[in-house]
Amino acid sequence: MSIVINTPNGTIGRKVSQSILDAGEALTVISRTADKAKPLSERGATLHQGSIDDPEVLRAAFRGAKTLFWLTPPVGRPDYFAWSVEAAKRAAALASEAGIQHVVVLSSIGAQNGPGTGPVGCLLEIEDLFRASFANVTVLRPGFFMENLFRDLATIQSMGTIFTPLPADAKVPMVAADDIAATATAALRQPGSGHRTIGVHGPTDLSQRDVAALVSEAWGRPVKLVPVSLEDARAGMVQAGLPEFAVDIVIEMFAAARDGRMNAAEPRTAETTTPTSFAEFARTTLVPALNSAAS
């Protein structure tokens, strides 16, 4: 019986897929294009080509499966909220029909507050859809991805500056994608019983000012933090070519963070604390990317 992953080509889905295969588990993946999933299928994963909103693709992928990893894809369409919820609703029904016993849902910090939190706004409803259909559901709510700093590579490299509409001194959980994937892999391979909601918080909470100081230390060059207004952030995203619907959703998330609605609901514990520090991430991942950009 296999583990099904609905998003094997994204940052987290790819890492989880590779880890499942490394562990010798049977893996089934759903991908719109065979080429993107080829590295996984070449290692033995069963590929079902198509969209996660196609019931026939889901039926085929869920047949004979024991566990499902469900990750809502990033914002990519104007009807993102309705589409994401409908896709999850269909998946929950078909997975239950297929006899899947356990679901791991990748959610997010702030999901407990529901709508009004940008792309996170649909995740509480998605969590609840799976909880209503399965006796065994593990919901993972990671903090802010350290990898979000890749969006700032250009301004760090050219200006030594991180521009942010987020509160400069509010400390929030920050976690590396590798640690999120490791937590998800463990939950898939050793599923618990009942309904569990687990935070994934990194080793310590950090402010945006802390982040700038740690990047500066790792890079060996001064990096300053410059707070910007939501209006300026909107203008920058529009100038970068983001579609209006995506800009609106991201700005809503920034506003929610300013209001404290993107804070963690789960307390920091030994279970929620993951090992990769931001200092290590900056040294081993971010700085090499900065140096590569420079060359």
Query: What is the per-residue pLDDT for 12?
Result: 97
Domain-by-domain residue ranges, the chain? 2-144+175-200
Residue type, 106: L
Whether the pLDDT of residue 191 is over 90: the answer is: no
| pLDDT surpassing 70 at residue 294 | no
Average pLDDT over residues 12-31: 98
The pLDDT of residue 21 is above 90 = yes
Spatial distance between the Cα atoms of 81 and 104, rounded to a whole number of angstroms: 20
Q: pLDDT by residue (tens digit) across 124-172?
A: 999 999 999 999 999 999 999 999 999 999 999 999 999 999 999 999 9
Both tokens assigned to 160: 């030594």
Give the integer Cα–Cα distance in Å for 55 and 45: 20
CA distance 38 to 90: 26
What SS3 state is found at 186? helix
Q: What pLDDT was estimated at residue 179?
A: 98
- Give CA–CA dist 94/48, Å, rounded: 15
pLDDT at residue 233 in the model? 96
Q: How far apart are CA 72 and CA 89, in angstroms?
A: 12
State how beta strands 224-227 and 172-175 pair: unpaired
Structure-token pair, residue 5: 């992953």
Whether 66 has a pLDDT exceeding 70, the answer reads: yes
Task: Give the model's pLDDT for residue 7.
Answer: 96
- In this prediction, what percent of the chain has a pLDDT beyond 90? 96
Please say whether the structural domain 2-144+175-200 has been given the CATH code 3.40.50.720: yes
Whether the predicted pLDDT of 295 surpasses 70: no
Confidence category of residue 81, pLDDT binned at 50, 70, 90: very high
pLDDT of amino acid 197: 97
Cα–Cα distance, 8 to 6 (Å, whole number): 6
Distance of CA 206 to the CA centre of its chain: 18
CA 3 remoteness from chain centre: 19
